[in-house]
Structure formats: C-alpha cells, structure tokens
Structure 1
Amino acid sequence: MAAAIATRAARFLPATSADPETDLFDAGLSSVDAVELVALMARELDVRVSLDDVFADARPRRLAQRWATAAGLPTQSSAPTGAAPAVRDAPADVVHEDLDMILADLALADRLPWSRQADPVPPRRILLTGATGFLGSHLLLDLLRQGDAHVVCLVRAADDEAAERRLGEALASFDQPWSAEVRRRVTAYAADLRQPRLGLTEDRWDSLAREVDSIVNVAAAVDFLRGYPSLRQTNVLGPLHLAQLAMTGRPKPLHHISSVAVFNEVGIEKMGEDDPVAHVDRLFAGYDKSKWAAEAALRRAREHGLTVTFLRPGAIGGHTRTGVYNPRDLSTGLIGAFSRFRTVPAFKFMNLAPVDWISRVACRVCSLRSRLCPRTFRTTTNLTGRAETLPELVKDMKLAGMNVRIANWRDWRDDLLRRQETDPVPELDFLVRILRSPTAVKLFEALMFGPAAGADRTEAFLARHRLPAPERYGSQAQLKAFERMAEDGVARLPSREDPPYLSFRERMKGHVGPVGEAPDTRCRMAFTLSIASMYQVVRHRKVDVRGQVTCERLHPQPLTVVDGEIWVRPDEGVPRMHGSDHPLLRYRLLLQDRDGGRWWLEGWKTARARRDFWKQTRTLEITIGREGGPAALAGVVRVPGKSYVPDQIDGIQVDPRLSSQEQRLAKLAWLSWFFVQVGMGLAEPSLRAGAELLDLRRDAIDREKDKLQRKIRKLMIQREQIR
C-alpha cells in the first residue's frame, strides 16, 4: 500500500517518482496538492486519511501505517533509511512517536567530531544558508554592508548556475539588489541541508572546511501544519550537518537562527534569553518541536567543542522603509485579518519586530561578537524587539480609522472561519488552513497568552555597539508594509464605505453663469466632508465629499454628489499654469440630477500675495460642465464668514465609538494638520514675491534691465506714433 500511495503522490511532484520513505513536502508537495492527494487516495485506493495525517508525517509508509491502524489492519515495521531514526509501528499517541524521533535525533549530536573552540577572529569568508528566504536575503545584504567579507550562499538547486539564478530572483522579489558588486562578493553553491555533507562533493566540502571563517544558518522549513517527521530533515539534521562542517578542519563558529517558538508551551511564565525553554512533550506544532530539537542538539554538540550562538527572532514583520513583507509569516495573516474583519483576539503580548532591525542586529552579532566579545560568544540572543500589547494595537487601529472589536480568541477563530467560508479572501487561505487544524487551538493559546520575550543581553549589546534600541513595531513602523499588504489584497485600508473617522459640514453660496459671461444665477452648495482615517489625508491629502449642489441653470431640483474628493495643497502648492496663484484646495465632483443627467464640477481655492487671507480661504472658483463635455458654467462661491467656525471647527463630528479622549485627539490631529497645510499655502505667495524682490543674482538684475529697456522702447514708439 505504501508503494501505491507513493505512485499516486508522484503525480504532484516535480520528480517523476517517489519511494515509501520520501517526505512528500520536501519533494515539492504543496498544501493545495495535499488536499488533492487525500481525495485521490480515497477515490483510487479507498485509503481514507485526514489532511492532518498528511501534514503530521508525509512519508507514504507512515500514511499507509496510519490508515491500516485506523482500519484495524496489521502493520509491518520498515526501518527508515539513512540518518532517519526508527519509529514505532503506528503508535496510538503521536506525541510519543515524535518524542522517540527527537531522542534519536539528539543522539546524532554524539557522532559529531571532537573540536576545540573557534578563535575569535573577524570573519573574512562567511557561509550563509537560507539566503533565498525573507530574513536570509536581508541578512546577506547586511553582511556585505557590514564589512568586506565574501559570502558563500548554499542554495537548493540542481547546479551552481541554477543556484545563482535562484538567489538573484529571490533577492529581487524582496527588493534587494543583485548588482555586479553584490555578485562579485557572493558565491552561490548548489547544496541540500537535508543530505549528508550538505549534498556537496568531497572536494567542495573540504574546501569550505578550510576556507570558511564563520557559518550563519538561517535556513528553515517554516510550516505550522507539518509534523516533526516532515520538518526534521531541514530544521534538525540540517543544523547538525552544518555543525559537522564547523568542527571539521579549523574550528568555526556557528550562528544558528532559532525562534522563540521553543517557548510555545501553554502556561509558560518567562521567555528570557537564559530562561529554560518549554518541555518538548508540551509543544504542539511540529515546527516548534523541530526548533527545540535543533537547539538541544547543538547544545549537546558544545560538549564536543562546537562554538555556537543562538539568535531567536519572534514574528518577523515587514521592512520599515521598503515595506516588503513575508506573505507566509503568521503575523502577516493576523494583521490582514484584523484590518479586514475589524476584530482582534484577546492576547497578552505579540513578540513582533521588523525584518530590517532583526537583520541588522543579527549581522552585528555574527560579525562582531566573535571578535570583540569572546566571553559572551556562546550565548543566546532574543531578537524580538519590544512586544506589542493588546491596548496598544487597538489604539493604533482606532486612530487609523479601524475600530476593532475584541473577542475571545476561539470566538474570533470561529468568526474568521465563517467569514472566509462566506466571502473567501485567497490571500488569507494559508492562515485559515492553520486555524482549521486541531493543533492550532493549542498553538494559538500558547501564542496569545504567553509572556513578552526578555532581551536584557540584546539590549546591553545594542547599547554597547550604538545600535538602535528595540522599539515597538507600531503603526508608524508598519505603515510601508501595511500599504503593500493592502495593494496585494492581504489587508484593507479604511475607505469611504467605512463609518467616517471624522466629518464636518461646509456650506457655500455664490453665482455662476455661462463661461466668459457675467455670473447671473445663484448657486448653493451643502457638503459633508469626511475622512476615513488620518492616513488618508497625511498620505494622499484627500478628503471625501458628499452632499448637494443647487443651481437652476443645471436643474430645478438639487443635484447629488455621486463621487467627490478634495485635494489639500495639490502638487505641493506649485502655482497653476506658472502663474502667481498657489492652490490651497482643489475640488473635483461628479454630480447627478433627478433625471439621471451627470455633470462635473471642478473648483479651486487659491492663495495670492495679498493680506485678505480670511477671504482667500473661503473663496472657491468653480467651473461646471456635462459629463464628458467642456465647461459650460463658471463662477465664484464663498463660505459665509459666520458659518465657517460653527461648521468646520466646532461642528466636527468624530466616530462615537472612540473614547472622549481619543475624540479630542482626533480633532486636534486633524485641525493641526489642516491649518499647517493651509498656513503654508497662504505663506507661499508672499514668500515667493519677497524672494523675487530680494533676488540680487546677476541674471536677475539683467532681466530687470531688459524689462526696463523694453518699457522705454515701447514708450518711444508710442511717442513717435503720437507725432
């Protein structure tokens, strides 16, 4: 039966065949393929296993054993080949099965060669794994920027040429450069961490053992659905193979990127750098167990002389400047779900930090610690930043115009699954698959109710080397990444469909008439101006407009604003048509009359070098025309002086779901931003006029002379004509 399952599974793999001991996920099976494989096995083989069985251990032999045990059929033991340890024959408890395998993997550390401690020398040639991943790609560039070391990247590929091509494509996907200078200092080798000696030839293995000064291991299979047997080759055996390389020939330090997932035990009280990690039998996700086992195996290797440092990031957020993010990180899915469905599960802390900060600190640890801090070289460092708390997250989202409801995490999970069933969001499918897994219940309990990770040693290291102190990955730091997530459909920014964050009235009246003629028809406007969030005005300088326009030349009945926006200081206040009028506000409205006819309206509030500032801020010059046609009417309307303050300052309405303090803060933020923009717009014409008057440059003086000479010639011509 195992062979039959392997034959069916091969249809979904890049390779044409698979044997009973092939881990299907390592061979290229995707989560979607796993769903189809379960259906195919039931249809063609009458073998019924759950999707969780496939994720727990994706080897055909183990799938056959699980099916046989569930069906009450006898099973046969078949010892796995290679370095994989034997497991029990279809045990009743998966936890015991994983523990047997973990114990066997830990014993592999005793087979490592003996070595002395690595010398604390500055690395000139660094071996890096995981450079095609999110964190690894950023760390590669930081290692290059940090000094002049050459970096050798091990990449899973068919050959070295394919490895270099894959590395370049990965860097480009994360907005990292792949320039000639980068290629000059980077060498890509085809390798496989899962294989003995990393899948390298003997000559290349020996060459790396002689030439490399430091090893940085970032490579990992990150999947919260797969079981320990499916992840162990990359996450446990891979680090042991690197440890063997580090202890071969001249001793080399190994910097291992681990994870705070080693603490994911329900009820754990402390997550400091020197605190005991979780009990492995109380970890639920295969990924957590694999990171725990890797640390335990490498600590055991220390007894053989291995010099190893552990660096533990938590959730890895998007880049604070470029906004690039990891679409498969759990934090990405959570932030996307929070913004889309406006509910947040009650949690204590979220250990989340931006990728650029994590990479920069990890780079400094890897490149400086061995040289400057030999006494603290064999240590553990938590790269988790400052933990996010529930009140801080809710406050940030409220001030961004996203009022969220706090729910019990199980209720939040059930609500999210129902929403996804009713209105699927493909970008959140990976999060939904995790939440549907029974393992996720315990995993999320550990994540939601765990403590903040301690980082005393990290903070001391940062202060000593004058690096940025850990800060909360709040709304400002997340802004670029959140924008990208919204563009990609993962998250959702506040929009006009949401209840307005802040709104107020604006009433204007005046006269319009045919273009080129005197205005002769009264025109009144009654608008409601609103914003969905402060992000909308700060980032895009736009205000939404709704309301009515009354003008008998257009229609006897008021026209409704179908769509309308106001730009605040458009084009940074650059004068219109190279003139002297600096734009303050630009109105663009689409109107519809009672008969279905549509009209466009465009208006400008401008500033001039005059002292009537109060009048300028209230005066709007407008043009109106049929949709798709030229301007037919033009005129001027003004905000009455007596209605400006009651409507636009005292009359500001803020989302009532905000607290009174948050409402006052929202009003203050809007008025401060708006009046600064208007003040700058009013000052620009006067400053420009003053600059022209004080312009003493030679070309400016020459221009004035030319103007005077032209004026004199004109007067002389007029005088001759009079004669």
Structure 2
Amino acid sequence: MTSPDKRTAARNPTIDQRVPDDGTAVRNASVDRRVRGEALERGTAGMDVAALLARTGTQNASVDRRVRGETLERGSTGTDVAAPQVETQRDAREWDADSLAAAITAVANRFTETPIDADTDFFDAGGTSLAAVELVAALARELGIHPDLDTVFFDARPRRLAHRWLADHLESAPSRPEVKPEADTDDVDRPFTDTDDLAQLFADLAGADRLPLVAAPERAAPRRILLTGATGFLGSHLLLDLLRHSQAHVVCLVRADDDKAAAGRLEHALRRFALPWSREVLRRVTPLAGDLRLPRLGLSDERWETLAAEVDSIVNAGAAVDFLRGYPSLRRTNVLGPLILAELACTDRPKPVHHISSLAVFNGSDATTLGEDEPTANVAALPIGYDRSKWAAEAVLRRAGEHGLVVTILRPGGIGSHPETGAHNPRDLNAGITAALMRFRTVPGFRYLNAAPVDWVSRVAAQIIGTPSAWGHTYHLTGAPTSLEQMVAETTMGGLGIRVQHWEQWCDDTVRAIREGPVPELESLAQVLQSPVARRQLAAMVTAPPASAARTDAFVSANGLPVPATSGPAARGKMLATMAGMGPQPGEEPYLRFHETLTGTVGPIGETADIPCDLRLTLSVASSAQVFSARTLDVSGELTCPRLHDESLTVEGTATVRPHDGIPLRHEARHPIMHYQLTLRDSSGDTWWLEGYKFAAARRRLVRQLGTQVIEIGRTGEPASYTGEVTVPMHTYLSDQIDGIEIDPRLPERQQRLAKLLWLSWFGSQLGKSLMEPVLRVGTDLLDLRRAMRKEHRR
C-alpha cells in the first residue's frame, strides 16, 4: 500500500523532497517540525491567544475578533525563526487563486504533523488550535492576507482559504480567470461562490444512494471485526472489551505509514490509557495502516477486497472531535468515513455496521426527553459543525439501512474516566469542564448531566456488538441522568462545595481564572469557551433535557451487565475527580488534613531495636473522592533517626485505610488497618523507602492497635535494613487527629463543619470495621471448627 506521505507528495509537487548532506531523506526540507513542536509545547501552552498572536508577529488588526472581542494594534514583535518566510509580503490584488493556494499550502506545512496539499484540511494533517493561531499570524505577516480564525476553523483547506479570501476582496482585485471549485466537488468550471455547509451536508448524504442493494447479513456472533478509532479513548477500551468478552479477532484501522507503525501507535494508545498490551493481545489483533478519510480507506484494491472478504462485522469508533471546526473541515472523517465503511459492508458478503454516535445529534432540540427512538434535532438548529457531522453520519447510515444494511447506532453522552485506573481523555470537553469544576469549585447551571464512565460505555457497546439479536437499533449509553440539584447535593455531601453560576458568567470567570492562574492544562478549554461558535454548542449542552435509555436498560438487565458506578456522593465525587484527571494541585489547600506524631525505636534487621526514631507527619486529601472511594491519604512531613541519617529526612507518600479490604497479609493472622508507603529524602537527594502497617488482632488493647505502626526502612532499590515499631503518643490523639482537623477554608463554614463530621464518621467506621474483623474471624473459625467436630462425630 502506498504510504500517506508518498500519496501526498505525489499530489503536491511543491513539497520539497531534497536529501541533505548526510543522505537522510527529508519530507519537507524547509521545516523542522520537531523543533517547532517543541517550541509550541514550551512556549504557548499557558499563553492566551492574544499573547500568542503578538509573539508570532501578526499585522492583522482583526484576526482575533472572535477570541478577544477587541482590536489589536498593528505591528510585529518579531519573526518566526523556526521556518523561513515563504515569500515577500505582497498586495492582496497581486494574488490569483492558484498562486495564493500554493503559498498558503507552503505556510500551512510548517504547522502540521504531515505535509498537505492545497486540498487537504489543515486539521486532518495534525494541525492544532494553537497551530491555527500561528498559521493565521504567519499568513498576515508573510502573505499580506488576513483570514480570521472562524474562517480557518470552518474549512481549513488551503485552496478554500484562498477562494474565500479572494471572494471577500473582489472589489480591489484586477480581473482574473474564474476560480475553479475545490477538488472534491463537481468537475465543471464555475465562478467561486461561498460554501453553504448545509448544501454540502445534503450532497454528502446523497452518496449513500449510490450504495448497492444487499441482503441482510448473517445473524451470528462476529468472528473477525474491523474496528476504527482504536487509538482513541473510547475505542481503546472498546478494543479490550471486544477481546475479553468475545472470541473475535479484531482488525484495527490505524492512520500510519505502514502496518508496523500502526502497531506502534496502537500499543502507545493502550498504554497511555493504562490498558494492557501483551503478546496475547497482539495475537488477536491485526493493526492495519489506513485512513478513514480516504476512498477505500487508503488501501490498495487487493487489500480492500481481502478485508471485505475476511471481516464479518464493522465497528466505527473513529471520529474527529473538535468543537471549533466547521462541517466542511470535519466531513471527511465524520461523514464520508462512515459512508466508506458502509461501502465496505456492502462489498463481498454483507456485514453489520455498529456506529458510535453522540447525544450531540439532539443539541438545539426542544424535546423534553432524549429518547432512543425520538427524532433528532433539525439539522439547521444544530449549533456547530461537529454536531452536524454526527447528525449527517447517522443520516448516511440510515440511508444505507434502506439498502439492506443492518446498522446499530450507539450514542454515548459525556464519557467519564475509568473508575479504577483513572484513565481519562484530557482533551474531552466534558473532562475539561469537570476539571474546571474541581479546580475552581464552580459549575454552570445545567439541567441534566448525561454521562457514564468509559468502562461501562465500552462494556455495554461490546456486548451489543456481540449479540446478533440486539443489532439494528439505537442505544443510549448514558446511564441515569443527573440533575443539577442532585449534583449540588451529592458534591456538597462529599465536601466539594461547588457554586452554581449562570452559563455566560461561568464561561467568562473560568477563562479569566485559567489565564490568570495560569493553568496550562486547561488552555484548550479556555479557547473553546472564548469561541462564540463553540459556546452555542456548550449552551445547548447546558439546557439539554435528560436522556432516556429504556432499550439499553432492558439490554443491560437481560444480559446481567452492571450499572454505571456513578451513584451516590462518593461515587459521583470519584467520577468527577478522575474524569477531570485531577490530583492535588501544588500550592492549593487540601480538602482536609490533620497531623500525626509517631515515636519509637528501630534497629538493624535481626538485632535489638534501640535506635530512636520519630515521625512528624501531615495526612491530607485533595478531595472527598480521594478518601471515600480510594481510601487513600497523601502523607508529608519529616523523619528523625540519627543512626539512619544525621539530619532530618523529608517524607512524602501515601497511607491507605483498610488496605486489601482488611484481608490479612499472606501467612499473617493480623488484619491491616492502615498501610503507609513513604519515600524518605535527604538534602542531597539520596532516598530511602519506608513501609509501615497498623494491624488489628484479636486482643483487648484496641487503642494501641490504632496507634502502633510496624515499619521497615531500606535504601531505594535495596531490601530492608532497619525494622521496628513507632507509636502515636496518647496525649496527641485529641489535639492532632480530632481537634486539629483542618478543612479547606474556601468552603463555607457550614460545609466545613459538615466535612469534618463526615470525615470523623467515615474514618471511625473504617477503624471500627478493622478492629472487629479479627474478632469476627475468630468467631468464624470457631464455627467452622464446631461444624468439623460434629461431622467427625457423626462418622
């Protein structure tokens, strides 16, 4: 199969294929993308767009109207040293369509991961939102044209950008030949007219009418599945669930130069989301280099025919998710991609198609509930290009169904993080909003949250794909909707203390807080919240009614599947925390903290423990979810032990309450109450490890059990060299661990009191359970012994 780079170079003879002196082939000799990418990572993550425009030296006074809402003064602060200017700036009247398209293409190639030609979308080649800002600045500085960001996000093909610019400046341009339409429309020459994305959308739908009529596919569990989007957040989890819960082999379509590179991208994606990658996984997976955006998936005729003959099920989890891009920029991946998969499903033997859609198809609807069989929104009412592209994909596949294909539509809402691994999608809009909620303790006044964790969404989707009787219907993979009132009540009980704001005010305050922080990890959210186009979509989400999932609920119940683990204050708080990927933030007040003093003696392994050892610790939690769900506390402080080191050592690590669910350690009769895993560090950076347990056993000295910790200490990378016991002095309990509890001062006084009561009741119940477990075990052992004796007596 011809690689994407070779295909692009063949289409675009302007791409430099020169060979440098060292003989290494360079795809584009005028660009060092690695250097540019590193510069972007270092320099722009925390900058606002205005600062970025200033840094790139734009002379366009209105290039950022959408973002700033104010006028930038003309001027240049410097020149981009990462790449030379394409040519000297010239008057707009000197450009013609072809020369301007070629010049824009050359500039755009400096900001993409792979080279593009004049008819390739900037974002499809790896361009980012920040790179788009730099592209606009470079076009203004070097070519003398000033497209605004809305134009670039709407349709980022260089030829289209050239056409739109020339169309907007016809009054000042000399007579020029008529401009030809873009390559993927009719081949008839005609004067340029601006693109109507709805007209383009309905033209795309007509592509389904060219599909052949086919018979219904065999209703049998799939044996070989084609999966797209396996490198994405949901797609990677879906891949593992298909392997775990079926006997099928999975062919994963991955955008890459060759199959080896596809395997590398797939492995990287799974590991990034804390999913297993092993020889056993690879044994049942075939990575296939291809491209969902290209005719026949970018495959050779032979590979296309082979794929059509071998697979018996198609699952489409691939999509371009960008709320700033217009429909023309998203259509190749999100609409024409599913159409190509429908074509594959009709080739050779008919195959069922399972399509991951989105509740976004309802945005702008005035429905009171979002039912699985309810009509979607009027496409003209959908606020942004992404929503329209998802709507169009469903419409294309419905038309394909009229040709005989069996099509299953799976609609998630917000997809939360994995409740066990914490894996999340950092670029997901829902995750960004939730991260802002956790960090700033504010939330927009939404009606309902239609969301579920990724493990549940992928598990239910995999079960539907593997159950032939479930095919051909629409399913909402959202779990039970959560109202604003429920969210506020549960997060308050969990100690989050959120404040509700009007949507517009929340947007403005959140952007300001991100920029003033600064908070680089939320910069992409700030960009979205500043876009009037994207805000319309977000406003539709805020006013969305609850989603109903009667068919999904019935399927889950009939197949013995679990419900989403998001009910109750602790679970809800955990979903929020992990969905946001939030840990303790440097310099922030924790949700709760208290102090613990321990004193005792240690000694070398096998010798008397007579060396004094003292610990002054602070135990804290960043949010209630951290302790109520994971039962984990953060630990900091210092350790003083003269024989270990002549100076105090800094301490950091974690303490787990009721580790291993209270089950005794191997070959132990004692039940663990708490498990400390700490790192000790001196001023020169040398480190030691400390592991300690508080145990409960069937004895009367209950208070001592709660305060005594058995510890081992060793050099990092080496076995333990010291062991001993340290104990909490009785006179410090009340002052440190009850009266000394400190609650986040940002919480209102009432919530601070509630948080302290919740902590004491929860921690007390955990300790009580730990102390009772040895007694219960003794009782159980006695009952087992009596049963055994009676059984022996009967013999």
Q: Distance in 2 between matches of 1:114 and 1:476?
A: 52
Residue number among 418, 440, 443 corresponding to 1:341 in the alignment: 440
* Superposed counterparts of 1:657-672, under 5 Å: 663=753, 667-672=757-762
Q: Please tell me whether the aligned partners of residues 205 and 392 of structure 2 are also in contact (alpha carbons under 8 angstroms).
A: yes
Given residue 394 of structure 1, which amino acid in structure 2 is its aligned partner?
A: V
Residue number among 43, 59, 67 corresponding to 2:157 in the alignment: 59
Q: Distance in 1 between matches of 2:535 and 2:383?
A: 9
SS in 1 for 2:410: strand
1:556 corresponding residue in structure 2: none
2:764 corresponding residue in structure 1: 674
Given residue 327 of structure 1, which amino acid in structure 2 is its aligned partner?
A: P
* Superposed counterparts of 1:153-164, under 5 Å: 153-164=252-263
Closer, same or farther in 2 for the Cα pair 1:83/1:172, shift >3 Å? farther
Q: Please tell me whether the aligned partners of residues 495 and 755 of structure 2 are also in contact (alpha carbons under 8 angstroms).
A: no
Given residue 150 of structure 1, which amino acid in structure 2 is its aligned partner?
A: H
Q: Distance in 2 between matches of 1:44 and 1:210?
A: 51
Residue number among 552, 557, 560 corresponding to 1:458 in the alignment: 552
For structure 2, list consecutive stretches of 5 or more residues without a partner in the other structure.
1-99, 599-608, 611-615, 638-649, 681-691, 711-725, 786-795
Residue number among 357, 360, 383 corresponding to 2:477 in the alignment: 383
**How far has the Cα of 1:279 moved from its partner?**
0.8
SS in 2 for 1:316: strand
Residue number among 417, 439, 442 corresponding to 2:511 in the alignment: 417
1:196 corresponding residue in structure 2: 295
Closer, same or farther in 2 for the Cα pair 1:677/1:653, shift >3 Å? same
Q: Please tell me whether the aligned partners of residues 744 and 752 of structure 2 are also in contact (alpha carbons under 8 angstroms).
A: no
Q: Please tell me whether the aligned partners of residues 130 and 220 of structure 1 are also in contact (alpha carbons under 8 angstroms).
A: yes
**How far has the Cα of 1:440 moved from its partner?**
1.8
For structure 1, list consecutive stretches of 5 or more residues without a partner in the other structure.
509-515, 518-525, 547-561, 591-602, 622-634, 696-723
Q: Please tell me whether the aligned partners of residues 101 and 229 of structure 1 are also in contact (alpha carbons under 8 angstroms).
A: yes
1:306 corresponding residue in structure 2: 405
Q: Please tell me whether the aligned partners of residues 135 and 218 of structure 1 are also in contact (alpha carbons under 8 angstroms).
A: yes
Residue number among 288, 294, 301 corresponding to 2:393 in the alignment: 294
Given residue 38 of structure 1, which amino acid in structure 2 is its aligned partner?
A: V
Closer, same or farther in 2 for the Cα pair 1:478/1:155, shift >3 Å? farther
* Superposed counterparts of 1:270-289, under 5 Å: 270-289=369-388
Moved more, 74-83 or 51-60: 74-83
Q: Does 1:46 align with 2:144?
A: yes
Q: Please tell me whether the aligned partners of residues 339 and 493 of structure 1 are also in contact (alpha carbons under 8 angstroms).
A: no
CA deviations 1:626-679 (Å, max 9, x no partner) are: xxxxxxxxx999657xx9889977998977956969955851552342364267
Q: Does 1:234 align with 2:372?
A: no
1:259 corresponding residue in structure 2: 358
Closer, same or farther in 2 for the Cα pair 1:197/1:671, shift >3 Å? closer
**How far has the Cα of 1:400 moved from its partner?**
3.9
SS in 1 for 2:351: coil
Given residue 763 of structure 2, which amino acid in structure 1 is its aligned partner?
A: W
Q: Please tell me whether the aligned partners of residues 582 and 685 of structure 1 are also in contact (alpha carbons under 8 angstroms).
A: no
SS in 2 for 1:276: coil
Q: Does 1:431 align with 2:525?
A: yes
SS in 2 for 1:79: coil
Q: Distance in 2 between matches of 1:247 and 1:264?
A: 31
**How far has the Cα of 1:209 moved from its partner?**
2.2
Q: Does 1:206 align with 2:206?
A: no
**How far has the Cα of 1:330 moved from its partner?**
0.9
Given residue 434 of structure 2, which amino acid in structure 1 is its aligned partner?
A: I
Q: Does 1:407 align with 2:501?
A: yes
Closer, same or farther in 2 for the Cα pair 1:207/1:667, shift >3 Å? same
Q: Distance in 1 between matches of 2:575 and 2:432?
A: 13
2:486 corresponding residue in structure 1: 392
**How far has the Cα of 1:436 moved from its partner?**
1.4
1:79 corresponding residue in structure 2: 181
Q: Distance in 2 between matches of 1:46 and 1:176?
A: 48
SS in 2 for 1:382: strand
Q: Distance in 1 between matches of 2:265 and 2:247?
A: 24
Given residue 360 of structure 1, which amino acid in structure 2 is its aligned partner?
A: R
Residue number among 483, 491, 494 corresponding to 2:582 in the alignment: 491
2:201 corresponding residue in structure 1: 102
2:349 corresponding residue in structure 1: 250
**How far has the Cα of 1:305 moved from its partner?**
1.7
Q: Does 1:222 align with 2:304?
A: no
Q: Distance in 2 between matches of 1:666 and 1:393?
A: 20
Moved more, 69-78 or 307-316: 69-78
SS in 2 for 1:252: coil
Closer, same or farther in 2 for the Cα pair 1:216/1:338, shift >3 Å? same
SS in 1 for 2:315: strand
SS in 1 for 2:110: helix
Q: Please tell me whether the aligned partners of residues 671 and 770 of structure 2 are also in contact (alpha carbons under 8 angstroms).
A: no
* Superposed counterparts of 1:608-619, under 5 Å: none
Number of aligned residues = 631
SS in 1 for 2:500: strand
Q: Does 1:446 align with 2:540?
A: yes
Q: Please tell me whether the aligned partners of residues 396 and 475 of structure 1 are also in contact (alpha carbons under 8 angstroms).
A: yes
Closer, same or farther in 2 for the Cα pair 1:206/1:391, shift >3 Å? same
2:430 corresponding residue in structure 1: 331
SS in 1 for 2:472: coil
* Superposed counterparts of 1:99-138, under 5 Å: 99-138=198-237
Given residue 174 of structure 1, which amino acid in structure 2 is its aligned partner?
A: F
Closer, same or farther in 2 for the Cα pair 1:87/1:378, shift >3 Å? farther
**How far has the Cα of 1:106 moved from its partner?**
1.0
Q: Please tell me whether the aligned partners of residues 574 and 626 of structure 2 are also in contact (alpha carbons under 8 angstroms).
A: no
Closer, same or farther in 2 for the Cα pair 1:381/1:246, shift >3 Å? same
Q: Distance in 2 between matches of 1:84 and 1:141?
A: 42
Q: Distance in 2 between matches of 1:646 and 1:262?
A: 57
Work out which of the two has the higher radius of gyration on C-alpha atoms and give 1 or 2.
Answer: 1
CA deviations 1:301-348 (Å, max 9, x no partner) are: 222222211111112111122221111111111111111111111101
1:2 corresponding residue in structure 2: 101
Q: Please tell me whether the aligned partners of residues 308 and 378 of structure 1 are also in contact (alpha carbons under 8 angstroms).
A: yes
Closer, same or farther in 2 for the Cα pair 1:439/1:475, shift >3 Å? farther
Closer, same or farther in 2 for the Cα pair 1:156/1:54, shift >3 Å? same
2:285 corresponding residue in structure 1: 186
Given residue 131 of structure 1, which amino acid in structure 2 is its aligned partner?
A: A
**How far has the Cα of 1:468 moved from its partner?**
1.8
**How far has the Cα of 1:68 moved from its partner?**
3.0
Closer, same or farther in 2 for the Cα pair 1:474/1:431, shift >3 Å? farther
Q: Please tell me whether the aligned partners of residues 613 and 682 of structure 1 are also in contact (alpha carbons under 8 angstroms).
A: no
Closer, same or farther in 2 for the Cα pair 1:658/1:91, shift >3 Å? farther
SS in 2 for 1:365: helix
SS in 1 for 2:251: strand
TM-score with structure 1 setting the length? 0.74
SS in 2 for 1:265: coil
Q: Distance in 2 between matches of 1:506 and 1:420?
A: 35
Q: Distance in 2 between matches of 1:185 and 1:159?
A: 19
Q: Distance in 2 between matches of 1:687 and 1:122?
A: 46
Q: Please tell me whether the aligned partners of residues 438 and 576 of structure 2 are also in contact (alpha carbons under 8 angstroms).
A: no
1:34 corresponding residue in structure 2: 132
Q: Please tell me whether the aligned partners of residues 591 and 622 of structure 2 are also in contact (alpha carbons under 8 angstroms).
A: yes
Identity %: 47
1:555 corresponding residue in structure 2: none
Q: Please tell me whether the aligned partners of residues 159 and 182 of structure 2 are also in contact (alpha carbons under 8 angstroms).
A: no
Q: Distance in 1 between matches of 2:591 and 2:310?
A: 62
Residue number among 342, 358, 366 corresponding to 2:465 in the alignment: 366
CA deviations 1:125-145 (Å, max 9, x no partner) are: 211111111111111121122
Q: Please tell me whether the aligned partners of residues 491 and 572 of structure 2 are also in contact (alpha carbons under 8 angstroms).
A: no
TM-score with structure 2 setting the length? 0.68
Q: Please tell me whether the aligned partners of residues 544 and 564 of structure 1 are also in contact (alpha carbons under 8 angstroms).
A: yes
Closer, same or farther in 2 for the Cα pair 1:445/1:644, shift >3 Å? same
